[in-house]
Amino acid sequence: MRAIIIAAGSNTKIVTITDKMPACMLPLVDKPFVQHLVEFLIVKGITSIDFVLSEFPEQLEALLGDGTRWGGKFSFHPVRDADQPWKAVRLLCSPSDEKVLIADANYLPPVPAEAIASPGDKPILWMDGGMSIGTASDWSGWATCSSASLSAIADSSTRDDVFNHLLTVGGIPTPCAKVLTVSSFDRLIEAQKFVIEGWQEELVITGSRKNADIVIGRGARVHQSASLTGPLYVGEFSEVGAGVELEPGTVIARDCVIDTGCHIKDSIILPGTYVGKELDIVGCLADHGVLYNARLSTEIKIPDNFLLGRITPGSASSRPATFASQVGAFVLLLLLWPLLVISIVFRATAGNGDALYRKRMVQLPTGADKDSWKYFDRFYVGNPTDMLNDNFAQFLRADLPGLINVLRGDMYFVGAPGRTMDEIDELEPEWRELYLGSKVGLVTEVRVRCGFQPEIEEQHASDTFYAVNASQGYDMKLLGDFVRKQFRTDRS
């Protein structure tokens, strides 16, 4: 059996945000709705899928590709008139007994595996709700039928016409409870709850379960004082601050920061969004600097990035900050240069490779174009790959020679970790974009919070958190935390 997914026409009441993306691209917990739909079909054994598209076809094609990643084959068929996609459906079907599944991209009913593996001779129309007898308005847009029955529909057919046509050729309306849909905001929030609670085993969401109805994505950090009441989801590499209250129906996508004291309920925070301190969000979608009140179909643009905005690096890399870092580095080198010389001489006489090691790193901030990148040689005493997990050793071999880079203006006292070109290439796209807009520092968020050998998830989460909080005031706080940590007895 093959599938024809119809992502044309607008039968959704989420008006404002779907002016910028197809409704089926809205997040369903950890992935866009349409991706869950596709993965549901792949698990059921359908690997050949045709997409009939109208608005924003490039977004769907970029997300799904040709199907290779799932072991399938996807084809895309744009149509001019979003309200009449059925001509394209008819052309994709031949007058044969081949079985076809047609699906509305805005709905996902729990179709049983046997209905796909062994479809009967009569069409099955999957209804949205518990009634076995309903009208076209109750139809989910999903049906299993023969290719011949679809090849007979008229080019100008509407959704209602197709439903009635399938009834006349013996179609059987079949009730489905707990249909997932983006047809309205209330139904979308309901769908989030269903999936978090374990809607169908075919739908797998990434992350670990804190309990039966709270899922935390990898690399996410939730402050111990935050209050979480499920069902809810916190996405990968997101940060939930102190005193935050997350209530049922909350979905926080990846790479978000929810600042202290916020209250969120029945709302979706889209990827890369910063929610400012003590902000209440109930029944809304938050997308960077725009808050969509989905119930009223209105949007509010919030110009203040400290209330609601896109996660971008802070503004601590100003000229005064550069000058202050250089002055501080000069004073410290003036006081500590004998210790630096002794460390270099000791390393050289020990015969353990280069005494003064240079590692070529990318200078930040910079753009995405590699041709415009500038580089600097980061100084170490000895190869940094064999650094010891000891504060004093790290100070002698990494921090002390790094003061030379700070004095030269290559780095700051506080910033993001320095990385080579190859290391930057290995970062995920969203992480790379965030990192390139930051600044390199001796003292980093990940070192202060996670120790000497952080996991990759901790590195990502720390870079994200520092990017949104970076300021001269926060840099001073982080520097103070770093100094205090050097005198603790634990060396974790």
- Region 135-149: mean pLDDT is 88
Query: Does residue 383 or residue 282 have the better pLDDT?
Result: 282
User: HEC string of 322-379?
Assistant: HHHHHHHHHHHHHHHHHHHHHHHHHHHHHCCCCCEEEEEEECCCCCCCHHHCCEEEEE
Cβ-based neighbours of 28, under 8 Å, separated by 6 or more: 36, 180, 182, 188, 191, 192, 195
Q: What is the CATH number of domain 2-181?
A: 3.90.550.10
Residue 159 has pLDDT above 90, yes or no: no
> How many whole angstroms separate alpha carbon 309 and alpha carbon 288?
4
**Residue ranges of domains in the chain:** 2-181, 206-310, 319-486
pLDDT of residue 55: 77
Question: Diameter of the chain by CA atoms?
Answer: 93
pLDDT of residue 350: 75
3-state SS class at 214? strand
Q: What is the pTM of this model?
A: 0.69
- What pLDDT band is residue 37 in, cutting at 50, 70 and 90? very high
pLDDT of residue 490: 46
Q: Residue 438: name the closest of 456, 406, 415 by CA.
A: 415
Helical spans, DSSP H, in 375-471: 391-394, 400-408, 421-425, 429-436, 445-450, 456-469
3-state SS class at 219? coil
Q: What does the CA dihedral 419, 420, 422, 425 come to, rounded to 10 degrees?
A: 40
pLDDT tens profile 373-394: 999 999 998 887 775 667 788 8
* Protein fold of 206-310: UDP N-Acetylglucosamine Acyltransferase; domain 1 (2.160.10)
Residue 336 has pLDDT above 80, yes or no: yes
pLDDT tens profile 307-324: 777 765 554 455 666 778
3-state SS class at 475? helix
> How many whole angstroms separate alpha carbon 130 and alpha carbon 474?
55
Mean pLDDT of the chain: 85
3-state SS class at 77? strand
pLDDT tens profile 186-234: 899 999 999 999 888 888 888 898 888 999 998 888 999 999 998 999 9
> How many whole angstroms separate alpha carbon 318 and alpha carbon 161?
63
Among 98-112, 236-250, 429-443, 457-471, the minimum mean pLDDT is found in 457-471
Residue 271 has pLDDT above 50, yes or no: yes
Which residue(s) pair with 298 in the sheet? 293
